[in-house]
Structures are given as structure tokens and as C-alpha cells.
Amino acid sequence: MVIKIVGNRIYLKEMDESDAKKLHEYSKEPKLNEFSGPYKASESIDKAKEYIKECKKNILENKSYVLGIYKKNTNEFVGTIGFFDLDDENKSGEIGFWIARNYWNRGYMTEAVSLMTHFIFKVLKYHRICAHFHELNKAVERVLSKAGYKKEGELKEALKSKEGKYYNEIIYGITSNS
């Protein structure tokens, strides 16, 4: 399946090997990894290429859908959004996303989450999507709320920082009939 999901200011599609340099560059930014482990692509351009290949293979095999986010006016690659941990029996899965530091707070991710959610419900025919995130990651909470997701709960002290402090993991979700 060739995927291209077009919105007002951005579009989503499979990443290509030519995105590897930027993917590597972006994923080295410490702010991007503040609330998650470092991305494999941050290690080298070759690792970024490997990751892109893996994403393509997973899409082909319907195992997960990690797509690049591109600005419509310049075709510039700016981030990724993925649907993974698929439970085909219950038609449920999880989304995760990031966008390069220079593009934060311009509404791009809210648009990307809305496009991806529509694609997951209407094209992949899944029923439920969730997102898990660190309690201090207020931007992701805001993005999900703006895209229609609701808080479902929190896992108490499920995340341990490098300094040994525990934080709650927040869960948001949405269903195809909400």
C-alpha cells in the first residue's frame, strides 16, 4: 500500500532513504529525547537509513505504520508519526510522534495527529488508539486534547528518571465512534 495523507499545511508519507541525514540530525537534539529514550537514528546516518528501511518493511507487512511528516509548501521532512503495538484481534494500537525543535508550537503535530487518526479509523479500520506519555510532557497532552483524545488514566510512578525519581505515565485514548 502506498500511503500519502494530505492535510492543509503538511502531508504524511513513508520516509525515504534521502530523509536519513535530516532524521539523524533532528534526533540528536537533546530536547527531543527529554521524555523518551534516545532514537536509534541519532547514532549515525547509517542507523537512520536502517531505521527507515525497517519502517518501510513494517508498513509492507502491516506490522506498524511509521510515517514521515512533510511541509506541504516546501516538501521538507520535519518529523515522524507512528501507529504501532498493533493488536489486530481487538483493533487497537498506540500512536507516538515527534517534530524537529525548530517547528514546535506551530500546530503541525495537532494536524499530523488528526490526519493519522482519521487514516487509522477510516483506512486501516482500527477501532481504538491510545498514547502513553510522561506526566511532565505537557505539549503532548495538549496536542492529544486538541485532536480529540481523552485522558483514560495514569500508571502511578511507572517511569524512572536517570536521577532515580519516579513519574506517572499518562494514558490518552480515542475510539472510532467517539
Ligand X SMILES: CC(C)(COP(=O)(O)OP(=O)(O)OC[C@H]1O[C@@H](n2cnc3c(N)ncnc32)[C@H](O)[C@@H]1OP(=O)(O)O)[C@@H](O)C(=O)NCCC(=O)NCCS
Residues of this chain that bind ligand X (CB under 6 A): 32, 35-36, 96-99, 104-110, 131, 133, 137-140, 142-143
Minimum separation from the CB atom of position 18 to ligand X (A): 22
**Nearest distance from residue 82's CB to ligand X, in Å?**
10
Q: Which residue has the cell 517547528?
A: 103
Expressed in angstroms, the distance from the first to the final Cα of the chain is 27
Between 98 and 149, name the residue whose CB sits nearer to ligand X: 98
Distance CA 16, CA 38 (A): 21
Shortest Å distance, C-beta 33 to ligand X: 8
Nearer to ligand X, 91 or 103 (CB): 103
Cβ nearer to ligand X, comparing 60 with 150? 150
> Closest distance between ligand X and the C-beta of residue 107, in Å?
4
Q: How far apart are CA 45 and CA 43, in angstroms?
A: 7
Nearer to ligand X, 98 or 121 (CB): 98
Q: Nearest approach, Cβ of 2 to ligand X (angstroms)?
A: 25
For 45, the enclosing helix (H) or strand (E) is helix 45-60
Q: Any residues with CB less than 8 A from the CB of 157 and at least 6 apart, and which?
A: 166, 167, 168
Continuous segment of H or E residues that includes residue 77: strand 77-87
The nearer residue to ligand X, 124 or 147, going by C-beta atoms, is: 147
The sheet that has 92-99: what strands, in order across it?
A: 4-6, 10-13, 65-71, 77-87, 92-99, 128-134, 166-175, 150-160
